[in-house]
């Protein structure tokens, strides 16, 4: 593990994008709307043999965790959820019609919110209705996010029967005091019991979500949580930096910031996570994921085929992504389209017979080139310049002359030991991997001024 000084943390722990997309969602505008999205879907429909990735957003939760930065709706009323699901199915039929014969899915993901907020019967009905319009290909990733506090054995049985093969369990932290501080009480036994039943049923891959940087966390509490997690041995772990974004999620203002770990303490937690999990045999994936060597993500890293979309790191690249539900983001035919986040607006658009798109973005050629470079850095820590030349018909040394100068000039990231640059490769070092979001910003023309302290993105650590 490389040594990080307080001075280096102070310089590089700045607000920067997570690059789930490039350009990022803050660059989307309302000049892209339903008609534009329909045109992109029409373009996508001309490639009926190409598979799709389908994301379904189910926003409902019974209670709000204070750390959460997701688009969620808090309700215990089934009629509220029923009204939403009716619109989702209308949207799905409209989407399938626009896609023509292109209905095959290589990736199918339910996220939220808490998808298992709904009963097993409702979920089975929803899945069956969606499969009237789409077909899951053999070997597809069929995934769902589940909350062990509300997910029952009946839920797991339904998911297994429906063909779901990947589960992501929300864990966050197992320390009772930390859980009290974030408003999420979940016993270790609840997690263990659900994980054991999923194993018994034979789910192909099980992921745990953890968060570092939460109030009350220390190296001692993290050690205890990691000990329990390693003992359960999930196939994958996503260990996210706590994103404090109160300007986007006002409920986070209830959190006492004085109780949060300092930047130095937070980085120590990250170092502890990396050290513990790699010592336990996990392979580090990208900036914040870990997988057992037998997992497909780990194999993709070895083969440099790992990629990334709105559903996270994936081995399935090159597919158009179509999204259903409020706040869902599609990536189709060279454009992003985000659905309305407010339920009332989403309902209004669906009821009016339109795609419920609130905003989006058309990628130009430069965006497409830079998206590839940034994705390679975020996923594989390396950009192979001859591959960029072949793929896009450009001279990378000339095209990225200013970026290469930024990296290699005195005091740049090469001098900092974060990056190495050769005639053929730009590679983030072990140190650079810790700040790979910062490395990626060098190629982000939309952030040309570099990282700023304006509250738009979460911090890099």
Residue 317, helix vs strand vs coil: coil
The candidate with the shortest Cα–Cα distance to 347, out of 86, 77, 62, 41, is 86
CA dist., res. 42 & res. 328, Å (int): 19
Cβ-proximal residues to 405 (8 Å cutoff; 6+ apart), any chain:
412
Would you call 162 exposed, middle or buried from its count of C-beta atoms within 10 A (0-12, 13-18, 19+)?
middle
Task: Let me know: does 458 contact 15? Beta carbons within 8 Å.
Answer: yes
Q: What is the reported pLDDT for 450?
A: 45
CA dist., res. 151 & res. 129, Å (int): 22
Query: What number of residues does the chain have?
Result: 461
Q: What is the reported pLDDT for 82?
A: 92
The candidate with the shortest Cα–Cα distance to 316, out of 18, 107, 50, is 107
Label the pairing between strands 289-291 and 283-285: antiparallel
Q: What is the reported pLDDT for 453?
A: 47
CA dist., res. 114 & res. 76, Å (int): 12
Q: Is the model's pTM score more than 0.85?
A: yes
Torsion sign (Cα): 260, 264, 268, 274: positive
CA dist., res. 89 & res. 95, Å (int): 10
Task: Let me know: does 315 contact 297? Beta carbons within 8 Å.
Answer: yes
How far CA 229 is from CA of 198, 234, 373, 453, in Å, comes to: 15, 7, 34, 35
Half-sphere CA count of 252, side-chain side, radius 13 A: 17
Would you call 35 exposed, middle or buried from its count of C-beta atoms within 10 A (0-12, 13-18, 19+)?
exposed
Two tokens at 335? 């454009």
pLDDT tens digits along 161-219: 999 999 999 999 999 999 999 989 999 999 999 999 999 999 999 999 999 999 999 99
pLDDT tens digits along 233-264: 999 999 998 876 655 656 555 666 667 888 88
pLDDT tens digits along 34-56: 999 999 999 999 999 999 999 99
The candidate with the shortest Cα–Cα distance to 111, out of 361, 346, 312, 313, is 312
CA dist., res. 339 & res. 400, Å (int): 34
Q: How many helices (H) and strands (E) does the chain have?
A: 17, 19
Task: Let me know: does 367 contact 374? Beta carbons within 8 Å.
Answer: no
Q: Which residues of the chain, if any, have pLDDT below 50?
A: 449-454
Residue 404, helix vs strand vs coil: helix
The candidate with the shortest Cα–Cα distance to 148, out of 115, 183, 124, is 115
CATH superfamily of 28-321: tm_1862 like domain (3.80.30.20)
DSSP label of 282: P
- Delimit the domains of the chain by residue range: 28-321, 364-446
CATH class, domain 364-446, is: mainly alpha
Q: What is the reported pLDDT for 251?
A: 56
Q: What is the reported pLDDT for 108?
A: 97
CA dist., res. 113 & res. 147, Å (int): 9
């Amino acid at each position: 593990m490389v040594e990080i000084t307080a001075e280096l943390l102070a310089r590089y722990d700045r607000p920067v994008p997570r690059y789930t997309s490039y350009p990022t969602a803050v660059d989307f505008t309302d000049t892209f709307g339903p008609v534009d999205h329909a045109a992109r879907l029409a373009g996508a429909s001309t490639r009926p043999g190409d598979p799709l990735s389908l994301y379904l957003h189910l926003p409902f939760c019974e209670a709000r965790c204070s750390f959460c930065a997701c688009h969620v709706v808090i309700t215990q009323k089934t009629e509220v959820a029923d009204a939403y699901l009716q619109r989702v199915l209308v949207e799905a039929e409209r989407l399938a019609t626009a896609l023509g014969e292109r209905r095959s899915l290589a990736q199918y993901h339910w996220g939220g919110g808490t998808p298992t907020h709904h009963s097993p019967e409702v979920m089975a009905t929803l899945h069956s209705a969606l499969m009237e319009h789409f077909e899951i290909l053999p070997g597809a990733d069929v995934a769902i996010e589940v909350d062990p506090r509300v997910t029952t054995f009946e839920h797991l049985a339904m998911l297994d029967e429906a063909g779901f093969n990947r589960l992501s369990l929300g864990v966050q932290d197992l320390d009772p005091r930390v859980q009290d501080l974030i408003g999420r009480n979940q016993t270790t036994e609840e997690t263990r019991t659900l994980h054991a039943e999923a194993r018994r049923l034979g789910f192909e891959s099980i992921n745990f979500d953890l968060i570092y940087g939460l109030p009350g966390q220390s190296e001692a509490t993290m050690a205890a949580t990691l000990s329990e997690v390693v003992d359960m041995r999930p196939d994958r772990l996503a260990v996210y930096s706590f994103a404090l974004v109160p300007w986007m999620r006002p409920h986070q203002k209830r959190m006492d910031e004085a109780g949060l770990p300092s930047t130095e303490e937070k980085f120590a937690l990250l170092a502890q996570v990396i050290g513990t999990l790699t010592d336990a045999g996990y392979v580090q994936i990208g900036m914040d994921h870990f997988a057992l060597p037998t997992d497909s993500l780990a194999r993709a890293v070895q083969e440099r085929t790992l990629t990334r979309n709105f559903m996270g790191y994936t081995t399935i690249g090159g597919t158009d992504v179509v999204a259903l539900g409020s706040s869902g983001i599609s990536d189709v035919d060279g454009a992003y389209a985000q659905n309305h986040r407010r339920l009332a607006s989403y309902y209004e658009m669906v009821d009016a017979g339109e795609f419920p798109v609130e905003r989006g973005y058309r990628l130009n050629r430069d965006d497409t080139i830079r998206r590839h470079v940034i994705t390679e850095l975020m996923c594989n820590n390396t950009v192979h310049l001859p591959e960029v030349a072949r793929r896009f018909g450009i001279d990378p040394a000339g095209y990225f002359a200013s970026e290469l100068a930024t990296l290699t000039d005195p005091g740049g990231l090469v001098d900092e030991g974060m990056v190495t640059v050769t005639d053929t490769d730009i590679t983030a070092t072990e140190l650079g991997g810790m700040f790979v979001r910062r490395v990626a910003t060098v190629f982000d023309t939309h952030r040309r001024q570099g990282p700023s302290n304006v509250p738009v993105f979460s911090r890099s650590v």
